[in-house]
Each structure stands twice: as structure tokens, then as C-alpha cells.
């Protein structure tokens, strides 16, 4: 869990002010609608970040 930023978890993207709604029907619907999309562009950015962190660190 991250302590800085809007979302305590980068995977599910639930914002701190919405934590009280976790597990509700509304939360389930929102998770389906805002599902993380991983495409070639996203993978490219991830690879660049990994290269920067691990090689240029």
C-alpha cells in the first residue's frame, strides 16, 4: 500500500476517498468500467521505466 498519492493501490486505482465503498455493488461496477488496459504503448512505457530504474538507477 502506498502512502502518497490519490490511490493507495496502483493496481485497482481505488482512490482514498472511495475506500469506504470497497466491496459494494457500486464498487464492483466501477472496477469493471475502469479496468486497467495494457497495450503496446503501456508496455513500452513500463519497459522504459524498468530500464531507467535498473540500468541507469
- Cα atoms in the Cβ-side hemisphere of radius 13 Å centred on 49: 6
Average pLDDT over residues 52-57: 87
**pLDDT single digits (tens) 5-54:** 788 877 777 888 888 998 999 989 988 888 878 899 989 998 999 999 99
Q: How many Å separate Cα 20 from the centre of its chain?
A: 18
pTM of the model: 0.48
Q: What is the pLDDT of residue 11?
A: 73
Domain spans, the chain: 16-55
Please give the residue that has the higher pLDDT: either 57 or 41.
Answer: 41
Amino acid at each position: 500500500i502506498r502512502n502518497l498519492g490519490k490511490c493507495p493501490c496502483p493496481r485497482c486505482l481505488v482512490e482514498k476517498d472511495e475506500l469506504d465503498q470497497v466491496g459494494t455493488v457500486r464498487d464492483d461496477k466501477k472496477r469493471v468500467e475502469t479496468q486497467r488496459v495494457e497495450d503496446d504503448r503501456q508496455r513500452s512505457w513500463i519497459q522504459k521505466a524498468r530500464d531507467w530504474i535498473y540500468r541507469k538507477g
